[in-house]
């Protein structure tokens, strides 16, 4: 297990962390999940204090399903508030599921990593099962070691320009 993966209780979280987890838990109920019956909610917090949330949306062409994390990150970007500091993900088969705590899929880890380059923060990732009895706190660098990113393409400076443009546009 990576060093920075911590299993904690909900009561050990700070008030702001708890608020984000509650918001991810709340949006789970909006999942469009007729193929898997699996509910996921994700909420992101930004440097400005914004919170953006989304649930998973499935598709009859299974591979086209959209994860909750994608929607939440996309909402922050589209709101002109792209600098994400923390993401909370809550999931399970129903609202009282004491099951395994879900962690973001591989594609979502890569998307969270992209956000970490935008905010220049090693994003905090809080994962919860649906009754909040199993909480994992970690960082994207622990979930996705040795990432491929904008630096590999010599484009890390371009992210700064784009970030300014997003923030300026009304
Ligand atoms: N899912 C997410 O929303 N996020 C993840 O990180 C993993 C999986 C969704 C996709 C699909 O709707 C359901 O969970 C079962 O895979």
Q: Is the CB of 69 under 6 A from ligand 1?
A: yes
Contact 166, 138 (CB under 8 A): no
Dihedral sign of CA atoms 22, 15, 51, 151 in order: negative
| Whole-angstrom distance, CA of residue 82 vs CA of residue 104 | 19
Domains of the chain: 6-168 (3.40.140.10)
Name beta bridge partners: 125: 87, 138
Q: Is the CB of 56 under 6 A from ligand 1?
A: yes
Token pair, residue 55, equals 């649930």
CA of 56 to the centre of ligand 1 (A): 6
Atom of ligand 1 nearest to the CA of 36: 15
Q: Is the CB of 104 under 6 A from ligand 1?
A: yes
Atom of ligand 1 nearest to the CA of 58: 12
Catalytic (active-site) positions: 69
Q: Is the CB of 124 under 6 A from ligand 1?
A: no
Per residue in 91-147, pLDDT tens? 999 766 678 999 999 999 999 999 999 999 999 999 999 999 999 999 999 999 999
| Whole-angstrom distance, CA of residue 37 vs CA of residue 34 | 6
Q: State the chain's mean pLDDT as an integer.
A: 94
Per residue in 52-99, pLDDT tens? 999 999 999 999 999 999 999 999 999 999 999 999 999 999 766 678
């Amino acid at each position: 297990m990576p060093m920075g993966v911590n299993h904690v209780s909900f009561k050990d979280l700070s008030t702001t962390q708890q608020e984000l987890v509650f918001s991810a838990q709340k949006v789970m109920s909006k999942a469009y999940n007729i193929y898997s019956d699996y509910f996921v909610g994700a909420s992101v917090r930004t440097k400005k204090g914004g919170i953006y949330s989304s649930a998973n949306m499935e598709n009859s062409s299974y591979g086209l399903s959209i994860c909750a994390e994608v929607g939440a990150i996309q909402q922050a970007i589209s709101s002109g508030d792209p600098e994400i500091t923390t993401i909370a993900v809550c999931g399970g088969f129903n609202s009282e599921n004491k099951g395994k705590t879900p962690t973001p899929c591989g594609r979502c880890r890569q998307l969270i990593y992209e956000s970490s380059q935008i905010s220049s923060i090693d994003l905090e990732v809080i994962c919860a099962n649906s009754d909040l009895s199993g909480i994992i706190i970690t960082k994207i660098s622990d979930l996705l070691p040795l990432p491929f990113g904008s630096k590999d393409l010599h484009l890390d400076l371009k992210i700064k320009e784009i970030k300014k443009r997003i923030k300026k546009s009304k």
